[in-house]
Amino acid sequence: KAGVTQTPRYLIKTRGQQVTLSCSPISGHRSVSWYQQTPGQGLQFLFEYFSETQRNKGNFPGRFSGRQFSNSRSEMNVSTLELGDSALYLCASSLADRGMNTEAFFGQGTRLTVV
């Protein structure tokens, strides 16, 4: 069974540009969550999608957005990039329907560097 796949693995962008990151969850998983990890910080929750609907949202500005497709693949978009957006962006998939205690499985992440 293939794991969570994130593309690209590495990305360098310039301030002011926008970027789109992609995540393919484990087959059968309908929930996809996105996290940001910066040095010294834990994993900061961005948002979660379930069956193409955003179900949870963290405390990030509107420049961060996402979507999920009918095949459960998800994309995350960051517009008007700032230097502080440089981070490891992690995607996690799970079966997680409400009421279920299940773990999330992470991809290897996309390392975004904004210069």
Partner 1 sequence: DQQVKQNSPSLSVQEGRISILNCDYTNSMFDYFLWYKKYPAEGPTFLISISSIKDKNEDGRFTVFLNKSAKHLSLHIVPSQPGDSAVYFCAARYSSASKIIFGSGTRLSIRP
Chain residues in the site for partner 1 (CB under 8 A): 4, 6, 31, 33, 35, 40-45, 48, 50, 55-56, 90, 92, 94, 96-101, 103-109, 111
Comparing CB distances to partner 1, the nearer of 66 and 107 is 107
Q: How far is the CB of 45 from partner 1 (least distance, A)?
A: 6
**Min separation Cβ 110 and partner 1, Å:** 10
Which is closer to partner 1, CB of 42 or CB of 84?
A: 42
Q: Which residues of 58-95 are buried (b: 16+ CB within 10 A; e: fewer)?
A: eebeeebbbebeeebbbbbebeebeeebbbebbbbbbe
C-alpha distance across the termini of the chain, in Å:
37
Residue 18 Cβ, how far from partner 1 at the closest point, in Å?
24
| Between 82 and 97, CB nearer to partner 1 | 97
As given in the structure block, the two tokens for residue 112 are: 């975004």
Reported residue count of the chain is 115
> What's the min distance (Å) between Cβ of 7 and partner 1?
13
Answer whether 75's CB lies under 8 Å from 66's CB.
yes
